[in-house]
Amino acid sequence: MAGAAGTTSVRAMQLQLPGAGLIRVETAPADLGPHQVRIAVSACGVCRTDLHVVDGELPNPKLPLVPGHEIVGRVVAAAADAKDVRIGDRVGVPWLGWTCGHCDYCLHGRENLCPNARFTGYTLDGGFAQEAIAYADYVVPLPHSYSDEAVAPLLCAGLIGWRALKAAGPARRLGIYGFGAAAHIVAQVAQHRSQNIYAFVRPGDQTAESFAYAMGARWAGPSNGSAPVELDAAIIFAPVGNLIPQALRAIRPGGVVVCGGIHMSDVPEYPYALLWGERTLRSVANLTRADATEFFAFAAQHLIHTTTKPYPLEDANLALADLRDGRLTGAAVLIP
């Protein structure tokens, strides 16, 4: 089956060996399976999870693999049984790519924990390519008020940030550890909810501090320092286990620390006194389609500004390197 506009090959950036970077390939367009749609990719965000996959920090990826799970594009073909999606629709493809629908988690509104789930850009090919294949029931309609480049980071940084923010509860004083793509979206959403943001960044990173202030933070400072006020909750986006004791020290009794990443370095031992006082430490795992429905309804009503840096598809390794080395302000987005 030919791809968009009858193309006979698809250009993609492919992972063949974790830790070895991506390779530019030309592949034949994949055939559509049941319930699937073909999407001409117009933008694909570069997420820290992509970096964890490429660097070999997440186990057992599909290989060879096309990474990328913040996909924006238009439907150019659909299987006969693909529901509620039409040719020409602009859609997004997030991290959650498929679930079984019949396990206990799926049946009780927790499909993000489905043990059989498949994930875009990890166990399913993703969007670092001219085309992507996705299951129709898992694509997301996108608000018309955002450009393709601007909306791409909302598909993971935004969705995981939304889930993490819900997990943190109605915190008036919210700490954010690691101020990158997810944090700069969460900060804006939190302010719409009348929450005050306290940003913790890499020690000495004045650019990140300035960025946090530009996004409305009440305070920004080094992550190895003390909070200026007692926090009600904290979200950790940086994949640094040492930040968990730091965040527990910063929150009040009864407060919550949420780990928002899929991967984190080992957590050091810490005294029970940091957790005592009915403090809660929890993680956020993946996302649900209900999260997407809620978040994009919110995003349609409250314009969220995403700071992005576009890269050509062939510069995917450069985008990943810039993310790895902390050179990005906001989010990288590949433009095929």
**Does residue 262 sit within a domain?**
yes
Residue 111 in any domain: the answer is yes
Q: Do both 137 and 179 map to the same domain? A: no
Q: Are residues 210 and 191 in the same domain?
A: yes
Q: What is the CATH number of the domain that holds 78?
A: 3.90.180.10
Per the structure, how many domains does the chain have?
Answer: 2
Q: Are residues 62 and 116 in the same domain?
A: yes
Q: Can you give the CATH number for the domain in which 237 is found?
A: 3.40.50.720
Q: Is this structure's pTM higher than 0.85?
A: yes
Residues 265, 219: one domain? yes
**267 falls within a domain:** yes
Is 198 in the same domain as 137?
no
> Are 69 and 130 found together in one domain?
yes
Q: State CA 130 to chain mean position distance.
A: 20
- pLDDT value at residue 7: 63
Nearest-angstrom CA–CA distance, 98 and 109: 14
- Residue identified by tokens 């501090």 is 209
pLDDT at 154: 98
The residue among 283, 298, 314 that closes a domain is 283
> Please, is 141 exposed, middle or buried when counting C-beta atoms within 10 Å of its C-beta (0-12, 13-18, 19+)?
middle
Residues 251 and 323 in one domain: no
Please give the pLDDT value at position 6.
53
Q: Is residue 289 part of a domain?
A: no
Are both 57 and 85 inside the same structural domain?
yes
pLDDT along the chain (336 residues), means of 10: 61 97 95 97 97 96 98 97 95 98 97 98 98 98 97 97 96 96 95 96 94 96 94 97 97 98 95 97 97 97 96 98 93 96
Residue range(s) defining the domain that contains residue 265:
158-283
Q: Which of 241, 268, 283 is the last residue of a domain?
A: 283
Q: Is 201 helix (H, G, I), strand (E, B) or coil?
A: strand
Statement to judge: residues 150 and 19 lie in one domain: yes
Same-domain status, 261 and 189: yes
Question: 14 in a domain, yes or no?
Answer: yes
In a domain, 27, yes or no: yes
Helix boundaries (H) for 193-288: 206-214, 243-250
The reply to whether 138 falls in a domain is yes
| pLDDT computed for residue 41 by the predictor | 98
Same-domain status, 270 and 222: yes
Beta bridge partners of 197: 174
DSSP E strand boundaries for the chain: 10-15, 22-27, 36-46, 70-78, 90-93, 96-98, 118-119, 131-135, 140-141, 173-177, 196-201, 219-222, 231-236, 251-259, 280-283, 308-312, 331-335
Residues 131 and 14 in one domain: yes
Residue labelled with tokens 């996302």: 287
Amino acid 1: pLDDT: 36
Give domain status of residue 256, yes or no: yes
